Amino acid sequence: ELGGINSNKFAAYAALTNSATDQWDGFDIRRAIVVDDFETKFPALVDYINYETYEVNRKTMDVDIPCTDGWGIVDGETTRMCRAPWIKGLLTQFPLQQWLREECPADKWIVKDAWGKEHNLVEENIKVIFCLSQMKLKKFYSSWDEYCNEFEKNGCTVNYCNMEEDNIKSSRINYQMLQQLSSITQPEIDRLVRRSNEDIEKIGVDYRTTMRLLGADDWNKDKSSLQEALSIYPELFRDEYSKEILRQTKKSLVKQAKAGKVRVNGKYLFVAPNPLPFLRWLTTGEESPYDELADGDVYTNQFPADSELMLLRSPSLGKEWAIKKNRRNEYLDKWLGQSKCIYTSSYDTVSKMLAFDCDGDKLLVIKDSNLLKVAKRTMDGVVPLYYEMKKAQGGELTPETIYRGMSLAYTSGNIGPISNLITIVHNNDEEDREEADLAIKWLTMETNFRIDGSKTLFFLTRPNFADKIIKKHTKSKLPNFFIYAKDKMYDQKHPEKSQVEPPNQSAMNRIAASIVPSRLKYNKNLGQLDYRMLMNVDAGFMISDNCQAIKSYDYWQMRVGTIEVPENVSADEDLYIYRKIRTQILNECRWDLDFVVNSLVAYLYTVRPNSHKKMLWACFGDVIVKNLKNNTKDLGQICPICGRRFKAKGNNKDKQIVCCAECKNKWDSARRHDRTDE
């Protein structure tokens, strides 16, 4: 009666309840409203593609920008992705009530919700504004009040996932982004891979690098037991199991770097529209409200004012390096600086170039003078692609429509093959680059139509002339660096058996060749490992092949893969498995927990020093960490530079001594220069 609904959209919205989320304590649904979406329209230069004829025309035309697509604001809470019945999207932190009182006249506090009902934002103390694109089943409710009543009657909750972090680490770029930089020179490649090559060279021998790469430093707020143990007692690096972890980590680093995952001075940030013009539009009704961020501007408090930033999003298909100026001032820091988002202008086509919406998408935001030069060369003359997308059709939910929709989603929604074709074109030594770039534009459009196809049930029909051009530029095998990126096989002696082409001079193949593996070295500053530090020595222990703890441990070590995990356990199967093994070992031994752990530690670190100890740490790591905290109290401080232990000499009350005497100059230098990644 109300128009029906697209079956796949309904399935997706119903599946929101299966999201891995945490309950949002204190969320008051009565302090939230839903309002219409804010959109802008303005003329922009684009490459317009007719999806029926595949004709591409560069022209200036009116472009619709759905600024608030999947986005809303929350007052006084950390930015996060939210999940509720029929509601999903991103809520960015914004001081709404403060802004209303300081920036908005009182007669403008009254706004209409998506059903046309008026609300006084201040008198009702509204803390959350959802935009209509976040409310997926709006037409099935007669009012927001009806939704809230049903929400409360059914005991519903608002949950969240992927909350904005307090400290956002520098990230790695990927091959899809790098392969677009066809003009990159070897000196520029050398500067790009320098940090990654340094990590490969330093892991094991350099304490700070090793701890960072193993996730055992202060950045990691959710350490595993072994990571926490290494931070308390770095002497554990002397153990053969820890050395094996270092060897595997180094091997993985080399492989990832050759696959394009190299370190850059960049961070993954939630992307959001500037909330200021949205609120001006909402409270005044002005169609084209003022935006402090002009075309070409962004705002983020994660980089300095006036920095030239490069914005990238995965999947990155065509030429998609958006170069923007970070517009910061006292006013914008006051209103936008409470969140670490990357805010974009309401009058910018960046969302078209990067094909993002604002329901939780993240952009890799990079500040790097070396890459900036290359990106400017790459993007010279490039404009956004623009094509009309189909809308999903409604309809009655029946077994037939649900089956058809699911079948199409599973059989036609895979974008991997098209993405690989784009990669082939990027990495070919093309004589006709202009035609190759045209093929990439068509394949990019086809990818986005395929992504939406499971909802719209509409799929493109490629014209014959376009099909010939695309096949002409995609007839070769995958590029050589895919032996690292996708574990493909390359046989130099028998190329016909290879899954990839021989290495050529494409950007990514040259980057892969510039990653230099080296022999693993070990930190000689660390003290000797004393396994007794891992034990509660007062609890006793037994070292014997006949020890029941060892027998049980060996038995379950051989049967880890045989333990069945219930269907309702999805978040962490390993956690379930090793907790069950721990319980089984304790039940079979019938000894005190500390005695069992002591016996396992003593045996595995003396009789079997070269053994693989993953199960020990997974089952009993919490007990070992507690023992380490008790046993290392009097061992002295750990130097954060080199990892050796030291005891501060002299008066340490007025000035905290944080490193050993040998590393003092390094520490002072790092503090003075506040070392950055660029």
For residue range 435-450, what is the model confidence (pLDDT) as tens digits?
999 999 999 999 988 8
For position 571, what pLDDT does the model report?
60
Dihedral sign, Cα of residue 134, residue 137, residue 143, residue 145: negative
Cα–Cα distance between 567 and 586 in angstroms, integer?
Answer: 25
pLDDT above 80 (res 298): yes
Helix (H, G, I), strand (E, B) or coil at 484: helix
For position 673, what pLDDT does the model report?
53
CA angle, 414 as apex, 84 and 398 as ends, to 5°?
55
Q: pLDDT tens digit string along 102-135? A: 999 999 999 999 999 999 999 999 999 999 999 9
Cα–Cα distance between 200 and 520 in angstroms, integer?
Answer: 9
Cβ count near 673 (within 10 Å): 8
* 351: amino acid identity, one letter: S
342-361 mean pLDDT: 96
For position 569, what pLDDT does the model report?
65
The β-bridge relationship of strands 637-638 and 342-344 is unpaired
Q: Residues 6 or more apart from 667 whose CB is under 8 A from it? A: 640, 641, 658, 659
- Tell me how many helices (H) and strands (E) the chain has: 23, 20
For position 83, what pLDDT does the model report?
95
pTM of the full predicted structure? 0.90
pLDDT above 90 (res 196): yes
For position 452, what pLDDT does the model report?
81
Q: What is the DSSP letter of 503?
A: P
**pLDDT averaged over the chain?**
92
Tokens describing residue 628: 């380490």
Q: pLDDT tens digit string along 88-101? A: 999 999 999 999 99
554-566 mean pLDDT: 90
pLDDT above 50 (res 597): yes
* 279: amino acid identity, one letter: L
Annotate 22-75 with DSSP letters as a single string: EE-TT--GGGEEEEPPP-EEEEEEEEEE-TTT--EEEEEEEEEE-TTTTEEEES
For position 352, what pLDDT does the model report?
95
What percent of the chain shows pLDDT beyond 70?
Answer: 96
Q: Which helix (H) or strand (E) holds 113?
A: none
pLDDT above 50 (res 678): no
Q: Quickly tell me which residue has 């004393």 as its tokens.
A: 530
Q: pLDDT tens digit string along 300-340? A: 999 999 999 999 999 999 999 999 999 999 999 999 999 99
pLDDT above 80 (res 600): yes
- H/E/C letters for each residue in 132-191? HHHECCHHHCCCHHHHHHHHHHCCCCCEEECCCCCCCCCCECCHHHHCCCCCCCHHHHHH
169-195 mean pLDDT: 95
Return the half-sphere exposure (C-beta side, CA atoms, 13 A cut-off) of residue 652: 10
Q: pLDDT tens digit string along 479-506? A: 999 999 999 999 888 888 899 999 999 9
Task: Identify the band that residue 654 occupies on the pLDDT scale cut at 50, 70 and 90.
Answer: very low
Task: Identify the band that residue 463 occupies on the pLDDT scale cut at 50, 70 and 90.
Answer: very high
Distances in whole angstroms, Cα of residue 6 to Cα of each of 293, 414, 439, 454:
37, 20, 32, 10
Least confident of 334-348, 384-398, 658-672: 658-672
pLDDT above 80 (res 568): no
For position 490, what pLDDT does the model report?
92
602-625 mean pLDDT: 95
pLDDT above 80 (res 655): no
For position 657, what pLDDT does the model report?
74
For position 567, what pLDDT does the model report?
72
378-401 mean pLDDT: 89
The phi and psi torsions of 625 (rounded to 5 degrees) equal -65, -40
Q: pLDDT tens digit string along 247-263? A: 999 999 999 999 999 99
Q: pLDDT tens digit string along 529-538? A: 999 999 998 9
